[in-house]
Amino acid sequence: MGARSVWLVVCGEPERGDDAAGPTAVDGLSAELLARCEVRRGAALDVETLMDVPAGAACVLVDAAVGILAGSVVVMPLDELARPVACPATDAAPRSSHTLPVEHVIGLVRALRGGLPAGSFVGIGAASASLGAPLSPAVARALPAFREAIAAEIRRLDASA
């Protein structure tokens, strides 16, 4: 099989409350849909992962984020994550709860690559990322919509490849 046209980058730690939303949602996707993707998983987004996306491939970045109403699903172009207010329609600014803020990772990748891979951020608002906690009720209720948003972006980007 040749190189896949869609990279699915899944961030989150399964044992940290709502931070588990990304891995949990992706685990529920069909094998057929996942077979269209190069799947990369990690606790947090890092520069190396986005640097590895080949030229011509698109990226779907999946993560739970603060700055979005808990349980709300947001889909936006990847390059908008570097802006101070990333989602003008909702005035939400998704922010990672990890050490290096996502806007810094995006900025570094943009500088090092000379641009970002095409693609989307599919996020869900997190209420809590406490160690050992389950998904919050808001995120648990929104998991089917989050999963469908991820699937829709994979299909859209794969079709345009």
CATH of the domain at 50: 3.40.50.1450
Among the listed ranges 71-75, 111-115, 140-144, which one has the minimum average pLDDT value? 111-115
pLDDT at 85 over 60: no
Give residue 104's pLDDT band: very low, low, confident or very high (50, 70, 90).
confident
pLDDT at 60 over 50: yes
Within-domain flag for 71 = yes
Within-domain flag for 1 = no
Within-domain flag for 141 = yes
Full residue range of the structural domain in which residue 77 is found? 6-13+22-127+136-159
Count of structural domains, the chain: 1
Within-domain flag for 89 = yes
Distance separating alpha carbons of residues 54 and 142, to the nearest angstrom: 32
Q: Which run of H or of E encompasses 74?
A: strand 73-77
pTM of model > 0.85: yes
**Residue 30 main-chain phi, psi, to 5 deg:** -70, 150
pLDDT at 86 over 50: no
Give residue 129's pLDDT band: very low, low, confident or very high (50, 70, 90).
confident
